[in-house]
Structure 1
Amino acid sequence: MKRLLLAALLLSGTALAQTFPDRPPRILGGFAAGGTSDLINRILAEGVFATLGHRPVVEVRTGANGFIAAAEAARSGADGYTIVQCATGVMTISPELPGANMAIDPARDLIPIANFAHSSQVMVVRQQSPFRTVADVLAAARARPGEVSYASAGIGAVSHLSGARLEQLAQVRMLHVPYRGAALGVLDVLAGRADLIITNLGDAAQQIRAGEMRLLAFADGIGSPAFPDTPQIGATVPGYAVSGWFGYCAGRGTPEAIVGRWAEAIRVAASDPVTLRRFAENGLVARYEAPAEFSRTIAADRVTWREVIQGANIRVE
């Protein structure tokens, strides 16, 4: 009887996947429109159209470092019609952050579908800034403890932990200024209301090319062919290396067959020439990982950020 029931469930899941979707699904993003997160969602929506037969609707739900969007996806049912860009902060940082107010338990309430993109982390300042090197930033931070400010996409975001990691390894004290998304942080760096930001290259690539922002260094130990002469933060601060990824999750209980349907659509999108061109224009690279591999990436990064959080004694007050 159990075998018959299992077989029936598998057949029904397969049949469901064959007809999925019969209407446009949704892709939720947790950060402000205009940033890298939102851009990647819109590139994905175009990229999966050929496979799914429907162009997903991209919706922005900002706040709580991505948890508002993640919670909505978790509560939207298990039919696969709502997926969310499961932010690094939601999946790997907040679960390790003492005092974090999590609307959901991401390990329990979200199912990893696939990873889609990678973006190098960079330290950038506005063009008029007196800082021309990482050493300049650190010298100012040592001379004026707590005055040199760095923007972030919010408390617990990768950009926050990237700045905290710099403080920890370089033994300096800076001022953290959180925003509701990296795009807003970049704007305030441009306006001179914050001194710098360590964020995804895609968040600042256009401003760098336009000469509005100065790229001081890469943070991921890899760099980019588009900026071959740019140094690494790790060359000045040994041991420093952070990077960012952009993957997608569905709500708990979503049938494996539908998760597989989404994963295949994302795989096709990640290899599409249009996707690759748009990624290159915005400082991004394709990084497809199937559900099992993406799950391992999430688990490994939780360990990394746990070490940073504990080492810097970071908590949400």
Structure 2
Amino acid sequence: MKPMSIRRRQVLAGAASTLVAPWLTHATPALAASEKLGTRPVRIIVPFPGGGGGDSSTRVMAEPLAAYLNVPVIVDNRPGGDGVIAVQELLRAPADGHTIMFGTPSALLYTPQLTPKRPPYDPLKDLTPISHFSSLAYFIYVNDQVPVKTMAELVDYVHKNPGKLAYGTGDSTQLVSMAQLRSQANLDMIHVPYKGSSNAYVDFIGNRIQIMIGGFELVEQSKGKARPVATLLSKRSALLPEVPTLAESKLAPVTTRAWTALFAPGKTPMPIVEQLSAACAAVFSEAKLQEYFKARGSVLEASSPDAMRKILIEQMPVFAHAIKTYNLYKE
């Protein structure tokens, strides 16, 4: 992806405050010198090791973001602790907009609620949303060793073979989604947690687990060994339109959402947060970036800080209920 020209950046900068980011029309027109970006590199903390989907997505986005801001954008991988290490690194940084974080439900919704009496941080107070980043169309897959073609057949097979099949989860959205599904359909299956979906996929293909959740790319990646039986979306995905929803399979939809977003430290001044949000709105609209994410089954979509905060507020009780109801504290 080629860096944008100065003229291109100027065009995008204008569009960001009008067409692309209508939520910024109320922003402060003039910022104090101490509240402007572009004086030094911007660092994006990623709670995953290099090479994974989150890391790759951030790096692909970082180049046009650097061109837009006219400063280097550095990707800093801080894996471990289900996101705690990355969040704590963010909170140690100055709240000036030059250090931000790639956030996920695991780091923002799941981990903080594992110890409700002593949470490592408060995602609503200690972090400030900048923008929604991407959302992913998740599908439930069985491998080629499971003799089923639909979700209804899978439920029936598990009922007839309790404790025989194993499923893997690589993030908290998958964990909670499968816990909800297992409970409502009364499925007796073995759960195998993984530190990432890529690790689960290796065992899925090797038949150490037979069920997993993943994006649409697993169909091609597995060369026919992964068979999608349902989508977790509320309606069929255009990526795999032949795959029905859970509702079409006579099951209640799961209440989790697979998203990523960008966050700043909680005390970051709003004019700076709005500058970053405007940058996201402009950069995310780039056709090449849109094509990159679409080809991988993701929807790249910016949002206002308030809209992203609403997603957090909406999803927090979903994860809290799941953790308590399905006893996910030790997962």
Shorter chain as denominator, the TM-score bin is 0.7 to 0.9
The answer to which of 218-227 and 112-121 deviates more is 218-227
CA drift of 1:113 comes to 1.0
Task: Verify the 8 A CA contact 1:141 1:147 in the aligned structure 2.
Answer: yes
Aligned to 1:15: 33
> Structure 1: how far apart are the matches of 2:74 and 2:225?
32
| CA distance 1:100–1:174, change in 2 (3 Å) | farther
The answer to which of 157-166 and 232-241 deviates more is 232-241
Q: Is structure 2 residue 204 aligned with structure 1 residue 186?
A: no
> Structure 2: how far apart are the matches of 1:236 and 1:128?
21
> Structure 1: how far apart are the matches of 2:245 and 2:29?
52
Q: Is structure 2 residue 233 aligned with structure 1 residue 220?
A: yes
Task: Verify the 8 A CA contact 1:124 1:197 in the aligned structure 2.
Answer: yes
> Structure 2: how far apart are the matches of 1:264 and 1:236?
41
Aligned to 1:271: 285
Coordinate RMSD, CA, aligned: 2.6
> Structure 1: how far apart are the matches of 2:258 and 2:59?
18
Residue by residue, what CA displacement relative to the aligned partner does 1:285-311 show, whole Å, maximum 9, x if unpaired?
Answer: 122211011101110111233333344
Aligned to 1:152: 169
CA drift of 1:237 comes to 4.4
Residue 285 of structure 1 aligns to a residue in which SS? strand
Q: 2:221 aligns with which of 207, 221, 227?
A: 207
| CA distance 1:235–1:52, change in 2 (3 Å) | same
| CA distance 1:114–1:206, change in 2 (3 Å) | farther
> Structure 2: how far apart are the matches of 1:14 and 1:188?
54
> Structure 1: how far apart are the matches of 2:161 and 2:50?
34
> Structure 1: how far apart are the matches of 2:98 and 2:230?
40
Aligned to 1:281: 295
TM-score (norm: length of structure 2): 0.82
> Structure 1: how far apart are the matches of 2:117 and 2:53?
24
- 1:220 maps to amino acid: L
Aligned to 2:212: 197
Residue by residue, what CA displacement relative to the aligned partner does 1:184-236 show, whole Å, maximum 9, x if unpaired?
Answer: 2222212222212124x26736525x434222221121332121111112322
- 1:193 maps to amino acid: R
Residue 163 of structure 2 aligns to a residue in which SS? coil
Q: 1:168 aligns with which of 183, 186, 190?
A: 183
> Structure 2: how far apart are the matches of 1:204 and 1:65?
24
Aligned to 1:177: 192
Aligned to 2:22: none
- 2:105 maps to amino acid: T
| CA distance 1:80–1:212, change in 2 (3 Å) | farther
| CA distance 1:21–1:166, change in 2 (3 Å) | same
CA drift of 1:114 comes to 0.8
| CA distance 1:251–1:87, change in 2 (3 Å) | same
Q: Is structure 2 residue 245 aligned with structure 1 residue 232?
A: yes
The answer to which of 140-149 and 43-52 deviates more is 140-149
Task: Verify the 8 A CA contact 2:35 2:96 in the aligned structure 1.
Answer: no
Percent identical: 26
Q: 1:140 aligns with which of 134, 157, 160?
A: 157
- 2:316 maps to amino acid: R
Residue 242 of structure 2 aligns to a residue in which SS? coil
Aligned to 1:112: 129
Task: Verify the 8 A CA contact 1:26 1:57 in the aligned structure 2.
Answer: yes
TM-score (norm: length of structure 1): 0.85
Aligned to 1:296: 310
Aligned to 1:65: 82
- 2:122 maps to amino acid: D
Q: 1:246 aligns with which of 260, 269, 273?
A: 260
CA drift of 1:284 comes to 0.8
